[in-house]
Structure 1
Amino acid sequence: MDVLIVGAGSMGTWFGEAIDARVAFADVDGDAAAAAAERVGGAVADLEGEEPYEVVCLAVPMTHVTGAIAEQADRAKHAIVDVSGVMEPALEAMERHAPDKERVSLHPLFAPERAPGSIAVVRDRSGPATDDLLAALEARGNELLETTGPDHDGAMETVQAATHAAVLSFALAAESVPEGFETPIYEELRTLARQVTAGTPRVYADIQATFDGADAVADAAADIAAADPEELEALYREAAANWHGERSADRAESEPDGDESGGDGA
């Protein structure tokens, strides 16, 4: 099987390494395409060429995936897939521009350097080519999570947009503290802040531009900041019920929580 991978960044390179196929990379950055091809033993393709491939994979930023599908769909002989991270728009563009081809959207739920891991999968129109690709990914130790475009994109509002907004807000708001004053919860948040801020800013910007979720975090923070003690207790109980159920919320009201001395109880 020969596969054209459009996008020679970390995710496109991961895909080229993870499948059992002859791969070629096309990218607006020719040096990046050459580096990816050298790493996986593939070739470099012309981004604006017309040479057909059995499978075309779009590994471009999520804000550009629909345009890339429109430009590259005609080069796919059998199948078109994407690993952009947003599914509904990608699947709609695939159906529009490649209605007779196999169509699958993938979202690896991990950074490439942490592979293997869980991969969200929507088989919009499956067939032998995409079945072979998915089997190769499973053989590499990845777990395929079958889903739908709406379910995936709805989940990403919390899993990515809201989560990143909360961690980045902490990273911006937090001030340095004297050594020894750390609490366990603070240390965990500090670790998350360091992890998130070691990434690529454009990726996080694309996620916020694509998925809702940050506004809900901002609204919740504003509610906490404006709450009086009784209102804050009510917000705490609401949060506890969301994560632990009503029984836990009732217990939080009746039992000491380890926070009365100023600690965070963890």
Structure 2
Amino acid sequence: MEVLIVGAGSMGTWFGGAVDADVTFADVDRDAASAAAEAVGGDVADLDGSDRYDVVCVAVPMAHVVDAIAAHAGRAERAVVDVSGVMGAPLDAMAEHAPELETASLHPLFAPERAPGSIAVVRDEPGPATESILEALSARRNDLVETTAPEHDEAMETVQAATHAAVLSFALAAESVPEGFETPIYAELRRLAETMTEGTPRVYTDIQRTFDGADAVAAAAAAIADADADELETMYREAAAKWHDGRPESDRFVRSDANLRGDNE
């Protein structure tokens, strides 16, 4: 099977090495495409080329995925897939620009260097080509999490947007403390802040622009700041009931906190 990967960043490179196919990379940065091809033993194609492939995988930032599908879906003979991190808009674009082809949206919930991990999957128009790709990913010990586009995109408001906003807010608000003053909770938040800020700022910016969630974190923080003692106790009990009486449904998209920096770089 021949696969064209549009986008030669870390996620496109990971995908090229994870599928059992002959892969070709196309990118606005031809040097990046060459580096990705060298890394996984693939080829390089012009971004505006006309050659056709069994599968086109769009591996560009989520802000550009719809335009990329519109531009490159016509180069696919059997299937179009994406690994952008958002699902509703790409699948709508595939339905418009590749109505006769197999389509699927995949969201690896990890940074490529932390593979394998959980991969959210929507088999929108399944078939042999997309099944072959998913089988290859599963064979590499990735956990395929079947979902729908609305369920996934709503979950990402919590799993990504709200979570990142909370960690980044702590990272910005926290001050240095004397050695030995750390509590277990502070130490864990510091570790998360250090891990998150090792990532790519553009990735986190795209997530905040795509998914709601940060406003809810801001509202909760404001409510805590304004609360009296009784109100704070009530908030604490509400939080305890949420997290101990029944974990949020979005937890099924999370393999482990080691995958925090997994936002489709």
TM over 0.5: yes
How many Å separate the matches in 1 of 2:237 and 2:38? 55
- How far is the alpha carbon of 1:106 from its aligned partner? 0.2
Deviation at 1:212, TM superposition (A): 0.3
Report sequence identity in percent.
74
Q: Deviations over 1:48-87 (max 9, x none)?
A: 1111011000000011100000000100000000000000
Q: Secondary structure at the match of 2:110?
A: coil
Report the CA distance between 1:187 and its aligned residue: 0.3
1:194 and 2:194 matched: yes
- In structure 2, the partner of 1:238 is 238
Letter in 1 for 2:3: V
Give the corresponding residue for 1:249. Answer: none
Give the corresponding residue for 1:18.
Answer: 18
Which deviations, in whole Å up to 9, do the C-alpha atoms of 1:132-155 show, x marking residues without a partner? 111111111111111000000010
So what's the TM-score if we normalise by structure 1?
0.92
1: CA distance, partners of 2:147 / 2:232? 37
- Aligned counterparts of 2:189 and 2:135: Cα–Cα separation in 1: 37
State the Cα deviation string for residues 158-186 of structure 1 (Å, max 9, x = none).
Answer: 00000000000000000000000000000
Query: 1:166-221 CA distances to partner (integer Å, 9 max, x unpaired)?
Result: 00000000000000000000000000000000000000000000000000000000
1:166 match: secondary structure? helix
2:261 is matched with which residue? Answer: none
Partner of 1:8: 8
| Paired AA for residue 225 in structure 1 | A
Q: Distance in 1 between matches of 2:66 and 2:123?
A: 17
Question: Deviation per CA, 1:6-25, whole angstroms, max 9, x where unpaired?
Answer: 00000000000000100000
Structure 2: give runs of 5+ residues left out of the alignment: 247-265
The CA distance in 2 between the partners of 1:180 and 1:150, in whole Å, is 46
Letter in 1 for 2:46: D
Name the amino acid aligned to 1:204.
Answer: Y
| 3-state DSSP of counterpart to 2:100 | coil
Give the aligned partner of residue 56 of structure 2: 56
TM-score, length-scaled by structure 2: 0.92
Compute the displacement of 1:245 (Å). Answer: 2.5
Answer yes or no: is 1:115 the counterpart of 2:115.
Answer: yes
Match of 2:217 in 1: 217
Number of matched pairs: 246
Q: Secondary structure at the match of 1:65?
A: helix
Q: What's the Cα RMSD here?
A: 0.8
In the alignment, which residue of structure 2 is the partner of 1:71? Answer: 71
Q: Distance in 1 between matches of 2:117 and 2:219?
A: 33
Paired residue type of 1:138 = S
Match of residue 255 from structure 1: none
Residue 250 of structure 1 corresponds to none
Q: Partner of 1:189: helix, strand, or coil?
A: helix
Query: Which residue type is aligned with residue 110 of structure 2?
Result: F
Which blocks of at least 5 consecutive residues in structure 1 are unaligned? 247-266
- Quote the Cα distance in structure 2 between the aligned partners of 1:222 and 1:151: 28
Distance 1:167 1:223 in 2: 18
| 1:208 and 2:183 are equivalent in the alignment | no
User: How far apart in 2 are the matches of 1:123 and 1:237?
Assistant: 40
Whose RCO is larger (CA < 8 A, sep 6+)? 2
Q: Which runs of 4+ in 1 moved over 3 A?
A: none
Q: Which amino acid aligns with 1:77?
A: E
CA distance in 2, matches of 1:236, 1:120: 32
State the match for 2:258 in structure 1: none
- 1:178 maps to 178
Question: Structure 2 CA distance, aligned partners of 1:208 and 1:118?
Answer: 21
The alignment partner of 2:81 has SS state of strand
Structure showing greater Rg: 1
Distance 2:116 2:245 in 1: 33
Distance 1:61 1:228 in 2: 43
Structure 1 equivalent of residue 126 of structure 2: 126
Distance 1:40 1:53 in 2: 18
In 1, Cα distance between equivalents of 2:231 and 2:145: 40
